[in-house]
Amino acid sequence: MLFTVIVPIYNVEKYLKKCIDSILAQTFTDYELLLVDDGSTDHCPEICDAYEKKDKRIKVIHKPNGGLVSARNAGIFAAKGDYITYVDGDDWVKPQLLQFVHDRIAESSAQVDMVIFSGERIFSDHNEMIDNRIAEGWYDRERLKKEVFPYLIMKWMDGRPAGHRIEGYTWNKPCRRELQQAYYVRDERIRMFTDEPLTYECMLNCHNVYICNEPLYMYNKTNANSILTLGNRNYLTKSFGYLLAYMNERLKGYGPDIERQLTEYPVFLIRRTINHKLQTEPTFGQAVKSIKDGLKESGILKYIPLKKLPKQRRFLLILMLKLHLYAPAMLMFAIKLRRQNSPK
């Protein structure tokens, strides 16, 4: 069997049938479909069971609620396909997705570790393309080291975060089952940015990857209950502390480029959260308190060694936060942000 499609499911009954139907409509049929019900309290369990009775390729796993990492892990270790790919329960896919991946695997003379495609963000009134910001084509180990790994987790330009070259999503990266079973995420307490530890560790162990911008996945942004759709920009939580601790433990041995990015990543999260709090808290004082409490809860500052921050302004912001000068640090940040956003 070539593919295992894993669908982690939690309280998405409004979207689930469309999701499953899009997978069953695949033009390539050599796959199994694992529906992992992560303790849903709506009608998702009944929907899953009904589909299992209709198609022998479908297997349902019912489990207590443990979060997305837990649901993915249950699927990973039940999978029998040579490659594992994911579809979130409130998203859907184009019918040629598996055929496209099969054809890329078949055309390579070497073992293919991962195929990376793209998709569209689906809003209520428009769609947006999701592009991999990198040249399309085949990447062997040397090309990955040169063109992908230096910007895998974080890229900065002119002292500002410029995003990944390739997003950390799991849904657009069918990957060999052996890699995912070797590098599955061990810490199931991680509840935000759950894709990234799995994606990054698997990619860092790939030797042959195909990357393109074929839009095969429909990423639903209309689900009002989705954590990502809610626009949560508060990254200073225990979950992010778990995430950073895990990534530092698992990824630091992959060289200086990755270690640099592991330092820059929490700086990006802090800046983004400060910006969010300055815009959403009713007073500056409450924004300061929120950041102070969040830094304590997450423990995020301990993952930022000052000696590895080359840019002076980033250095100063983190230094002031480490010295508990929260209000001056946020005031400096707000002034700098206002200058950047003011008309020239």
Q: In a 10 Å sphere around its CB, with 0-12 CB exposed, 13-18 middle and 19+ buried, how is residue 106 labelled?
A: exposed
List pLDDT tens digits, range 87-116.
999 999 999 999 999 999 999 999 999 999
Does residue 118 contact residue 213 with C-beta atoms inside 8 Å? yes
Among residues 271, 218, 207, which one has the least CA distance to residue 87? 218
The reported pTM is 0.93
* 188's tokens: 């199931």
Count of beta carbons in the 10 Å neighbourhood of residue 150: 16
Same domain, 120 and 163: yes
Looking up tokens 């929490």, which residue turns up? 266
Asked if residue 227 belongs to a domain, the reply is no
Asked if residue 130 belongs to a domain, the reply is yes
Residues 293-305: what's their mean pLDDT?
Answer: 95
The amino acid that residue 340 corresponds to is Q
The amino acid that residue 231 corresponds to is G
> What average pLDDT does the chain have?
92
Same domain, 286 and 148: no
C-alpha 213/C-alpha 120 separation (Å) is: 10
Check residue 230 and give its pLDDT.
Answer: 39
Same domain, 193 and 82: yes
Asked if residue 318 belongs to a domain, the reply is yes
Same domain, 115 and 207: yes
Same domain, 214 and 251: no
Q: What pairs with residue 32 in β-bridges?
A: 4
Same domain, 90 and 183: yes
Same domain, 107 and 152: yes
Q: Say which CATH number the domain at 19 has.
A: 3.90.550.10
Check residue 337 and give its pLDDT.
Answer: 82
Looking up tokens 């990447």, which residue turns up? 139
Same domain, 169 and 119: yes
Among residues 214, 212, 219, 213, which one has the least CA distance to residue 127? 219
List pLDDT tens digits, range 244-283.
999 999 999 999 999 989 998 999 889 999 999 999 999 9
Asked if residue 88 belongs to a domain, the reply is yes
Q: Is the pLDDT of residue 159 over 90?
A: no
Q: Angle at CA 203, nearest 5°, toward 202 and 207?
A: 105
Q: How many domains does the chain fold into?
A: 2
Check residue 227 and give its pLDDT.
Answer: 43
In which domain, by residue range, is 271 found?
238-339
235 — pLDDT class (breaks 50, 70, 90): confident
Same domain, 58 and 205: yes
C-alpha 177/C-alpha 199 separation (Å) is: 13
Asked if residue 344 belongs to a domain, the reply is no
